[in-house]
Amino acid sequence: MPWSKLSARQLLRRFLLGFFMVQTAAIASLMATTRVRKMLRGKGIEPLPRVEPRSFAVGDSNEANVYVNGAPLYEDMLAAIAQAEHRVLFESYIVKGDAMGRRFKRALIDAAARGVEVYVIYDGFANLVVRPSFYRFPPSVRVLRYPVLASGLRFWNPRNYGRDHRKILVVDDKIGFVGGYNVGQLYEDEWRDTHLALSGTAVWDLENAFIDFWNVHRPHEGIEQAIRPTWEPTIRAHRNIPKQLIFPIRGMYLEAIDRAQHTIELTTAYFIPDADILEALIDASRRGVQVRILLPRVSNHVVADFLARGFFNRLLDAGVEIWRYTDHMVHAKTATIDGEWSTVGTANIDRLSLTGNYEINLEIIDDEFAKGMRDVFADDVESAELLTAESWQGRPVVARLYEWVLKPLKPLL
């Protein structure tokens, strides 16, 4: 049919269909280019140097170890499981079926074999590429696979969407691990991430997060809380719970950014902020706060990279520093403000994390801990490039075109 005879509705339908096809082609080409680039680099990526955890006393009754390297983290997590006497609560968004994943699986099975109660939670969607046989455990290990899709009428309830993006390990109610690290060989020395190990009263928050999730999804196999909560003034856990439409991590960030007077240092793997968080960062910079954002130059999700680029103009115009981590993937989810306030957890600065997924972030108000996190940020900046307004304005026309084509996808990620 000639274009002149098409109705407005038909024209709009054809335009939307054509634009969707262009978006699909853009995504496919970006993913193909990224795959080729990875193949060409092959084993040329130098492993990250081993960095031992830094220990901090937090408040009157807690100790926090900060891990910025996967090797010592995995060693300590496996050692904790090996020494478990009563109970192990293990939850991870991704557990790869590689050598490292098999080590964790064996440690969990061995703990159950010696009489330890072992509970495992993993996200079904995130692990679709892992062979199902990898997740077959003996009956002594109780496993909850968070489903890819809700079944029956629950499919239509928005409370049942969002992935289980948390990474928690609690052993014997005494030590708890939380942060950005998934489990896999790749993350051991090729990804820069941040994780915490806590001992003290704050372990209750991590244990409670796991138990609440388990008991909601497996009420007939409920877990009892072993330790009592305390009102710890220096550490608070914030949990996003889609089932209850509760998303406090976003509010935590907005409140902290609004309080900032001197510095904001934010590290995130995927930076796709909503309008409120974007405006909060810009306002902070305009009132004289030094705002620095560290993100990967090239992440494992290239579409997210191009969506993030759509915010760079406004941020740079407002004086925000954008640092792009080179050579390796930075996957940490941390922030430090004014050398007093810090957060470490599982939530990225994007809609999926802040208003969609099950997430957990610790909010820590402690000067010494914040100083340690600022040192981590300073170390990371040494391996990053500062994006200047001049270099950004000089980016290729093709890159600008990709940014424009993908811009409508921002509300989805």
**Which pLDDT tens digits describe the chain residue by residue (413 residues)?**
554 555 666 555 655 565 556 556 656 665 666 565 555 455 567 899 999 999 999 988 899 999 999 999 999 999 999 999 999 999 999 999 999 999 999 999 999 999 999 999 999 999 999 999 999 999 999 999 999 886 654 554 555 668 999 999 999 999 999 999 999 999 999 999 999 999 999 999 999 999 999 999 999 999 998 878 888 889 999 999 998 899 999 999 999 999 999 999 999 999 999 999 999 999 999 999 999 999 999 888 887 888 888 899 999 999 999 999 998 999 999 999 999 999 999 999 999 899 999 999 999 999 999 999 999 999 999 999 999 999 888 877 666 766 666 666 666 55
Looking at the structure, tell me whether residues 295 and 379 fall in a common domain. Answer: yes
Which residues, at least 6 apart from 409, have a Cβ–Cβ distance to it below 8 Å?
Answer: 23, 303, 307
104 with 248, same domain? no
Token pair belonging to 408: 């409508």
Residue 390 CB burial class (10 angstroms; 0-12, 13-18, ≥19): exposed
> Are 134 and 257 found together in one domain?
no
> Is residue 355 a part of any domain in this protein?
yes
Distance separating alpha carbons of residues 271 and 310, to the nearest angstrom: 10
Q: Which of the listed residues 220, 253, 280 is the one where a domain comes to its end?
A: 220
Distance separating alpha carbons of residues 26 and 31, to the nearest angstrom: 9
Does the residue 16 lie in any domain? no
Asked if residue 379 is part of any domain, the answer here is: yes
Q: What phi, psi does 341 have (nearest 5°)?
A: -110, 140
DSSP secondary structure string, 313-341?
HHHHHTT-EEEEE-SSEE---EEEETTTE
Amino acid in the structure at residue 84: A
Residues 306 and 209 in one domain: no
Under DSSP, the state recorded for 95 is B
Q: Are residues 261 and 152 in the same domain?
A: no
Smallest Cα–Cα separation from 374: which of 343, 339, 330, 347?
Answer: 339
Look up the domain containing 348 and give its range.
243-409
Is there a domain that residue 35 lies in? no
Q: Do 182 and 326 belong together in one domain?
A: no
Strand order in the sheet with 141-146: 54-58, 62-67, 195-200, 175-179, 168-171, 87-92, 117-123, 141-146
Given 220, 252, 276, which residue is the final one in a domain? Answer: 220
**In 42-142, which residue ranges form alpha helices assigned H by DSSP?**
70-82, 99-113
The answer as to whether 13 is a domain residue is no
Please work out, in degrees rounded to the nearest 5, the angle formed at the alpha carbon of residue 60 by the alpha carbons of 56 and 64.
25
CATH number of 60's domain: 3.30.870.10
Residue 78 in domain:
yes
194 and 267 together in one domain:
no
> Do 65 and 124 belong to one domain?
yes
Note the Cα 94 to chain centre separation in Å: 11
| Domain limit, last residue, from 189, 220, 251 | 220
Do 209 and 258 lie in a common domain? no
Report the domain count for the chain: 2
Q: Which amino acid is at 102?
A: R
| Same domain membership, residue 254 and residue 190 | no
Does the residue 69 lie in any domain?
Answer: yes
Q: Is residue 3 part of a domain?
A: no
Residues 198 and 299 in one domain: no
67 in Cβ contact with 197 (< 8 Å): yes
The dihedral over CA atoms of 193, 199, 201, 207, expressed in degrees to the nearest 10, equals 60
Q: Is residue 277 located within the same domain as residue 384?
A: yes
